[in-house]
Amino acid sequence: MCQKKRSFCRIRFRGLAALAAALFLLPGGYAARAEESLPTPIPENIRTADEIVIDDRYEELSSYTITFRNMQAYTPEYFNYAKVTATEELPTPDGREVNRFRFADDAVLTIPCNTTLEYGNKDFECYRQLLNYMDNANIAPAKQADAPYPLENAIARCETIFKTLHIDNLVLDQAVALPSDSISNMTDGMKQFYNGTEPVCFDAFPEEIGVWYLAFRQELNGIKSLGTPQVRIALTEKETALLELDKIIDHINDDYELPAGVCWTDALRVFSDSHCGKSGESYEISKINIAYDYNLMDSNALDARAFPCWQIEGQAGGGKFEETYSILDGKRVQAF
């Protein structure tokens, strides 16, 4: 069964309470007693938690052929009404050209390839470095009472931006309040993280730099994508400090139902097959989630195949682990 050119038509923002709840019980999922659920004996070095959280939407799954939004189609006016003072075409090692526009208010719009785009104010490099650091440092969200301004205001501004850019079907994946003192407290960690790799922009941050950092993902049939969120945005009280778009789905071309019989126990089987020979390591599986990944010909391609994956989380050797496997063929997946 195929559906042609099915357009996305909704934006859903889940509140922070719902976001927190999702960490404990996935949408459409359930908690199962491990001893009641094991399909077949699994290797001795692999066990399930007493209560394993399972995303049970495997009966709704399909694979899709999709087309991403062509970022080259966006013009500067979508992001900033100020006058464009400079236009640059920067060559890349692979022979492509990166388009960059500079505005009279010192904002910058950069389109590195067909599927990615970045816009920000004059301090966007500082905020980009901050967000990249946060993505790797497990920074805990500040209390909403410490937020630089109300979250509802930030979400409303995001809705306006997405409406202008004609981007739909987004759900809030993360919302982190970053008041000025929180950013200041990250100084030492940021400098250590970036030491020797690139100049640290932190000292160039302006005063009163508090922002809301929000990340959004698109969904296919209610299921999120893997890897980097499609939208990352940092909003000061008055400006868009940084907006990053990556692989925004424009439309679905075809969908293909999966063969009957797919079940969460297949996730245990492929994980066991991958680790059965590692007798020196022990694994406790606590969560089996479902998400989509993409097959891309190259970073500049607009057409791709979206396929569902098992996302398996738990504890190993005293630390957390997360591994992803294609539901179609059981192969390990490295999320983009």
- Listed by start position, the domains of the chain span 16-65+252-333, 72-113+116-246
- Cβ contact 127:241 at 8 Å: yes
pLDDT at res. 143:
56
The DSSP 8-state label assigned to residue 282 in this structure reads: -
The DSSP 8-state label assigned to residue 197 in this structure reads: T
Rg of the chain's alpha carbons, rounded to an integer?
22
pLDDT at res. 121:
92
Q: What is the mean pLDDT of each successive set of 10 residues along the chain, which is 336 residues long? A: 36 36 38 51 82 85 94 96 92 80 96 94 85 73 70 95 95 88 77 75 66 93 90 93 96 88 88 79 91 84 94 90 93 80
Report angle CA 158, 161, 162 to the nearest 5 degrees: 85
